[in-house]
Structure 1
Amino acid sequence: MIELLFILTFIWLIFAVIQDFKYREIANWLNFSLIIFALAIRAFYSAFSADYKYILFGIAGLAIGFILANVFYYARMFAGGDAKLLIALGAVIPFADTWRENMLIGLIFLASLLFIGGIYSLIYSSILAYNNKLKFNNKFKQEFKKNKKYFYLALIIAIFIVLVAFYFNEFIFIVFALIIFIFPWLYIYTKAVEESCMLKLVNVKDLTIGDWLAEKITVKDKEINPYWEGLNEEQLHLIQKNYRKKVLVKQGIPFSLSFLLAFLVLIYIKYNMNGDWNLLGLF
């Protein structure tokens, strides 16, 4: 069962990555079909082996994936397609024989996803900034001037924490100081990349449900504001029927590659480290 789930999920993730890079979205049918196939395989295996823990693991993983996906979605860390992909993987990931091992697998996957996703997003955004360096540099300077009071505040707090670190001889305080100092720079960098490299004028016929507007538009005396959940079906129909200008939309980073790489981490641990999920000996 495990090998079949691995092969199925790997193929689905490859399709998700291709879709994400090509269309900047992951189709609902792809995510929902992965859920259906994963639970169907688990149900068949449970019935065949007369051991229903495998389907219970899948349902529990699906529920936990749903909760985490909503947390990340409403925290604006994941877009809708990424959140649904996390839900689908929740039905796949608990592939061990015990609740404890499945919990560790889930934690390792989540940690891998966030770590790999952070590195990948930084590399991807750096490439965007380099390819649009003139626009990026101008926007970065504008954002710095607009937010420089926060930079100076962070600098003062960081210096104070460093002094405390030397006084108490605690290295961990220096790490905190570094994080506080870097945070405003990271915010300015992210904002500059977003507004100089990730905006695109799109014909109304090419808009899709979930697209993020970069600015407010007015259609037949009705205002449509930028919203995290993107365009809904009613708004899309209204725009395509009555709006003739191009629309400025905000494109996200195709994050599905991080899911694929995090899943490959699990496969590596399973087959190259003898499934030692308690890597740090914490549990």
Structure 2
Amino acid sequence: MYEVIFLWALALAWIIFAVIQDLKTREIANWLNFSLVIFALEFRFFYSLFNNDGFSFFYQGLIGLGVFFLLGNLFYYSRVFAGGDAKLMISFGAILPTSSFFILNIQSLLTFLLIFLFSGFAYIFATSTVLCIRHFKAFKKEFARQLEKKKKLMISLTLLGAVLILLGFFEIIFSIIGLSIIFISYLYMYSRAIDEVCMVRKIQAIHLREGDWLYTNLKVGNKIIKSNWNGLTNEEIKSIRKKYKQVKIRQGIPFSPNFLVSFIIFASFKIFNLNLWNPLW
């Protein structure tokens, strides 16, 4: 059991450092994520080497790392995560599998993922609500502008949703689909307004960092530096600093606190032997 406690303590310490760094600088350093993977796998290897149970503990860590490597890249390329968050997710793969049995480790990985998704939704909703309240006047104006901008589409989706809700008198699934269409449509407008009002800020070009997201494309000489998901490179930053004193960048909501909350909930499930899969698996 002490090997599990060690891995959890290691992960907890690294997550706390990641959260502090993310909140201070809006980035998570590569060395922090990679060192967590290295320390976790080294511990697994030497524990397995001096243990009579073979190398299962080490191999399960490699499998977990592989599974979360795929998940982290999926979230990154689908633009759910920034690079630092994706790497932090990957590093968790080396921590979470603590059983010698593959199926139990898959259950653990899925349990963490479900906790992470649900707590992530709650975290984003709570954070965006606070931002909305703090900038309510600007948000209200921007929300109206977003609705006006997509007026025809929103009217069409609202009417479609209303028709489906009425059809729900015959089959309840239609009401569920109709409500979902309306809810997701207005949620998208809400997130767009929050993004424009609260996530865009002007900074001195000297303070630009690798990975920052430009708000709009910038022209430097004959070259266009594009605003894209991968963020700025060091070469692009050097070019921008030669021409611009200030630039607008887009910042995301720091997501690392959700890793900390999710891990604490996950550990609590394990400590109190709560299993989401008892009825199914």
TM superposition score category, shorter chain reference? over 0.9
Of the three residues 13, 18, 27, the one matched with 1:16 is: 18
Aligned residues: 278
- Distance (whole Å) between structure 1 residues aligned to residue 261 and residue 189 of structure 2: 28
Structure 1 residues 51-78: Cα deviation after superposition (integer angstroms, max 9, x where no partner): 2111111111111111111111111111
- The 2-side partners of 1:108 and 1:173 are apart by 31
Q: TM-score, normalised by structure 1?
A: 0.94
Matched letter for residue 79 of structure 1: A
User: SS of 2:275's equivalent?
Assistant: coil
Task: Provide the secondary structure at the position in 2 that maps to 1:166.
Answer: coil
Match of 2:197 in 1: 196
Query: Does residue 1:236 correspond to 2:237, yes or no?
Result: yes
Matches within 5 A, 1:215-226: 215-226=216-227
* 1:165–1:174 CA contact under 8 A, matched in 2: yes
Give 3-state SS (helix, strand or coil) of 1:117's partner. Answer: helix
Deviation of 1:160 (Å): 2.8
Which structure has the higher relative contact order (CA within 8 Å, separation 6+)? 1
1:131 alignment counterpart: 134
Deviates more, 1:126-135 or 1:224-233: 126-135
Unaligned runs of 5+ in 1: none
Tell me what 1:81 maps to.
84
- TM-score using structure 2 length: 0.95
Match of 1:282 in 2: 280
Query: Bigger shift: 212-221 or 186-195?
Result: 212-221
Distance 1:195 1:280 in 2: 44
Query: Contact 1:201–1:248 (CA<8 Å) still a contact in 2?
Result: yes
- Residue of structure 2 equivalent to 1:261: 261
Work out whether residues 49 and 55 of structure 2, in 8 Å CA contact, stay in contact via their aligned partners in 1.
yes
Please state how far the C-alpha of 1:277 moved relative to its aligned partner. 3.0
- Give the Å deviation of 1:267: 0.6
Deviations 1:166-185 (A, max 9, x none): 213x3x44332221111111
1: CA distance between counterparts of 2:176 and 2:265?
A: 27
What's the C-alpha RMSD, in Å, of the aligned pairs?
1.4
Query: Pairwise mapping of residues 11-90 of structure 1 onto structure 2 (< 5 A)?
Result: 11-50=13-52, 51-90=54-93
Q: Supply the AA of the counterpart residue of 1:39.
A: L
Q: Classify the secondary structure of the residue corresponding to 1:218.
A: strand
Look up the SS of the partner of 1:118 in the other structure: helix
Amino acid at match of 2:59: L
Identity of aligned pairs, percent? 39
Residues 105 and 277 in structure 1, CA contact (< 8 A), matched pair in contact too: no
Q: Describe how 1:157-172 pairs up with structure 2 within 5 A.
A: 157-168=160-171, 170=172, 172=173
Q: Distance in 1 between matches of 2:105 and 2:266?
A: 11
Q: In 2, are the aligned partners of 1:62 and 1:88 still within 8 Å (CA)?
A: yes
Check whether the contact 1:150–1:184 (CA below 8 A) recurs between aligned residues. no
How far apart, in 1, do the equivalents of 2:240 and 2:100 lie? Answer: 51
Compute the displacement of 1:278 (Å): 4.0
Query: d(CA) in 2 for partners of 1:49 and 1:41?
Result: 12
Classify 1:37/1:225 alpha carbon distance in 2 versus 1 (closer, same or farther; 3 Å). Answer: same
